[in-house]
Structure 1
């Protein structure tokens, strides 16, 4: 079980001082990343207007776009830019009484959204003899620990039980994008630090395979925990459809007697024909990686996953009990994967497992398939970063990766067989680089 400061205690860690408190030229507001201990141009990266690295700084502004206001109007929320249901994720989610004089909701997802309320460590985190451990003890969130980082990211990139941090089916029906999560990719997109000798000395060397795998485990934990909570798992007479696979219901309806069925029965979901399936994109990925990195706990996880799907046909109490068992199995996997590093052939083995005979037949739906191609791409990039594959060799199979992406380029045109073939070709190309 994860112990330590994480997302659940972010609002209890002290006062939120605002982005401006980090913006000095002697702190993180330089134009060039030439600092000794850290880059010191972190705010420039955070504000980058032309790439995804600046997405957090734009999060509040998008609420006042035509799309943002259209969603808020449909939901009866008033102005999107001031709606608590939106600001919980589109700004730093600080309680009113914890907001310092320089806090601005308009800053979007600021430094303290991820690093924690700064009042306890802002004035000391850079001074001798401060260390990463002492900063964490003072309230800084230990984002170098993948389990902690995943818990923070999941608050908005999946949902939490904190105010304004859960995307309902109604929000998606009103136009909010479907929520999906992949920790290593998200970490790379938001990376504002260099993994140099100083970083490794202070925090250790990141392990991309471990980070990706833990992200999958923590996503399953979060999903099952929220589903088991009656505040989130049900909506009136109906289940909260946020947890289910969108595209299993949102398909074309036709009375043509010769119409071709546009879905496949999934061999890992023992559910009655026609029942909407739980969105198991992270469950599938965790099953694949566990078969390589932790086969013992992985087998127990697979059994719990099958029971969870089966319980959906039995009733809400049975489904909740099965969700709790599945969450516990994912928790055990997260701890097992976090307990050691992974080098050598681990990334190659995981890619082979994702596209292998045990897992590939489970790619019958759009969400799981999109997660799979992101995983293969992420793991290939990790091989390059960690000097297991040359950049030129990776570029040589980019066409195969792109064909797999094209197969999930549109939910309306998604075809399971086409996707599995494209993913298999990409995986074989990566295996040839081993």
Structure 2
């Protein structure tokens, strides 16, 4: 497993985790996204889970679960401990500079930061410590209702869920929770807008299966599978892509999130369509690479379509009945951005409906070995690769190929040794997108193409 993340450690995955650690399944008929955890479920704090008979042991010798989960959550040197460091990072010099530029006082007490780096004041129980950072209940839900049933004799997973625990074994439920901070929600302190990024906050990025693996504090053994079923990594990846787009469109439709004064909220747009070199001379060199899926006028910022690209690749394999509609809605949405906000909000609603339908379809798909190989082929196909004209889409594609390859290994469908032979090309692709200011698209395409050609031989 360690080799899988050699490239990621140098890439924005850690920067994106640092996005959570630095500052900062809804249907289309619902209001714009709000935090997944019910506000009236008080967070009792990490101490409530830290007993040696619960999750606070120093050794993973529990009969049912490891019982050293808190120690793994606190791991100081790995991405697995990033959640526990989320509050403390607000005390460093960089966070102080960001807070000063924003004029919000101390980052450790600013609601703008605490919504993702701790828990909002309205959700804190009497024993909750802000310094816990992103603790157990941030993901599992406020424990007021389910803590007692959780440790009761004869407790069941379904009983805990009925008492308010979040069903993180379900892809749509997990994605909704993670996206609250790893993309944003309509709630206070859970949206890293362009102003916050301009002040110094890292760019936000998200991939559900890969991020879940980095944060995994449990063993998926026979007991786990008996209670919750075996994880289908490809399903989590695909549902995560659909939910990320659904969330982006939901927030874009929200007038309080989709606009910043007289401007659109630039958070939603591809950074590199604006952050390019400026040429004033008569021999100006265009730095724009035309994207065939973005029918927008020259010089207009493009909506960040990284999740759209991945969804199109997955839909053509796993949901062909929706694929044509999704591609048409994606294209219509891009085109609407050149008209006016009313047109783009309406088009976003239509695309959001289709993205939500894809999330539901993927949630019910087994994702066979053949389908996984086919999605990898689709990502590297002539229909998709011309859309990798910007950094964000390229990052998602290499994470996707890495995730899907690892899924084949986890399912026992290819050997670890065979996958290891592809690692060098995947790492080269990671290196080509390691620095957004040094993005090397040709090198990236060559490396990704080589990886996919090798994967093709494993069919």
Q: Is the 8 A contact 1:7 1:152 kept in 2?
A: no
Q: Is the 8 A contact 1:92 1:112 kept in 2?
A: no
SS in 1 for 2:65: coil
The residue aligned with 1:67 is 94
Consecutive unaligned residues of structure 2, counting only runs of 5 or more, are 1-24, 28-32
The residue aligned with 2:365 is 340
Aligned with 1:253 (options 253, 278, 282): 278
1:109 matched to 2:134? The reply is yes
The residue aligned with 1:43 is 70
1:177 matched to 2:202? The reply is yes
Instruction: Provide, for residues 253-293 of structure 1, a one-character-per-residue CA deviation record: whole Å limited to 9, x for no partner.
Output: 12344454222110001111111100011111111111111
1:232 matched to 2:237? The reply is no
1:137 matched to 2:192? The reply is no
Q: Is the 8 A contact 1:81 1:87 kept in 2?
A: yes
Count of aligned pairs: 430
Answer with 319-328 or 98-107: which moved more: 98-107
Q: Distance in 2 between matches of 1:247 and 1:80?
A: 28
Q: Is the 8 A contact 2:322 2:358 kept in 1?
A: yes
The residue aligned with 2:233 is 208
Normalised to the residue count of structure 2, the TM-score between the two structures is 0.91
Aligned with 2:328 (options 294, 303, 307): 303
Which contiguous aligned blocks of 4+ residues in structure 1 show a shift greater than 6 angstroms? none
Q: Distance in 2 between matches of 1:392 and 1:2?
A: 40
Give the Å deviation of 1:9.
5.2
1:165 matched to 2:190? The reply is yes
Answer with 358-367 or 339-348: which moved more: 339-348
Aligned with 1:82 (options 97, 109, 113): 109
The residue aligned with 2:11 is none
Aligned with 2:83 (options 56, 60, 67): 56
Give the Å deviation of 1:83.
0.7
Q: Distance in 1 between matches of 2:164 and 2:261?
A: 39
The residue aligned with 2:245 is 220
Give the Å deviation of 1:8.
4.2
The residue aligned with 1:263 is 288
Give the Å deviation of 1:185.
0.4
SS in 1 for 2:56: coil
Answer with 387-396 or 135-144: which moved more: 387-396
The residue aligned with 2:146 is 121
Q: Distance in 2 between matches of 1:285 and 1:65?
A: 36
Q: Distance in 1 between matches of 2:258 and 2:42?
A: 32
Q: Distance in 1 between matches of 2:34 and 2:154?
A: 27
Q: Is the 8 A contact 1:13 1:116 kept in 2?
A: no
1:357 matched to 2:382? The reply is yes
Q: Distance in 1 between matches of 2:206 and 2:278?
A: 29
Q: Could you say if the C-alpha distance between residues 7 and 152 of structure 1 is closer, same or farther in structure 2, counting changes exceeding 3 Å?
A: farther
Higher RCO structure (Cα 8 Å, ≥6 apart): 2
Instruction: Provide, for residues 231-274 of structure 1, a one-character-per-residue CA deviation record: whole Å limited to 9, x for no partner.
Output: 00011110000000011111111234445422211000111111
The residue aligned with 1:272 is 297
The residue aligned with 1:418 is 443
The residue aligned with 1:430 is 455
SS in 1 for 2:84: coil
Q: Could you say if the C-alpha distance between residues 143 and 86 of structure 1 is closer, same or farther in structure 2, counting changes exceeding 3 Å?
A: same
1:383 matched to 2:408? The reply is yes
Q: Is the 8 A contact 1:217 1:330 kept in 2?
A: yes
Q: Distance in 1 between matches of 2:246 and 2:448?
A: 27
Instruction: Provide, for residues 15-62 of structure 1, a one-character-per-residue CA deviation record: whole Å limited to 9, x for no partner.
Output: 211000000000000111111111111000100001000000000011
SS in 1 for 2:38: helix
Q: Distance in 1 between matches of 2:413 and 2:386?
A: 29
Q: Distance in 1 between matches of 2:145 and 2:440?
A: 52
Q: Distance in 1 between matches of 2:95 and 2:414?
A: 42
Please provide the CA RMSD for this pair: 1.5
SS in 2 for 1:57: helix
